[in-house]
């Protein structure tokens, strides 16, 4: 479910969760109603570093959108979400390549 929500394939998602688990940031909790299913929970360590992560993301966005008007940032996200929606249901056999040209 997490992989679908994030648009990440299951193998990559498992690797990400394994890495976060090894770092003590998440834990897998078996669903008592379905032993094949696991819930992913943040650990106290993760909750402690979340404010730092939020600040880092905010700082990165500030740098990335330096000189952009608010409307331009909104337009960027709207267009990006449209691209994601357009390619979301493509068969996995398709290779998707984004080519970005620098001005």
Tens digit of each residue's pLDDT (9 = 90 or more) over 55-100: 999 999 999 999 999 999 999 999 998 988 888 777 766 566 777 7
Both structure tokens of 40 = 């992913």
Contact (Cβ atoms closer than 8 angstroms) between residue 41 and residue 50: no
pLDDT at residue number 30 = 92
**Alpha carbon of residue 30 to chain centroid:** 23
How far apart (Å, rounded) are the C-alpha atoms in residues 90 and 74? Answer: 26
| pLDDT at residue 47 tops 80 | yes
User: How many residues make up the chain in this entry?
Assistant: 103
The mean of the pLDDT values for the chain is: 88
């Amino acid at each position: 479910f997490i992989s679908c929500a994030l648009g990440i394939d299951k193998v990559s998602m498992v690797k990400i969760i394994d890495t976060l688990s090894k770092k003590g940031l998440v834990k897998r909790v078996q669903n008592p109603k379905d032993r094949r299913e696991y819930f992913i929970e943040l650990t106290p360590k993760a909750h402690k570093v979340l404010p730092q992560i939020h600040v880092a993301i905010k700082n990165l966005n500030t740098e990335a959108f330096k000189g952009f008007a608010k409307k331009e940032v909104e337009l960027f996200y709207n267009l990006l979400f449209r691209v994601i929606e357009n390619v979301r249901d493509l068969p996995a056999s398709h290779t998707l390549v984004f080519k970005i040209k620098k001005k």
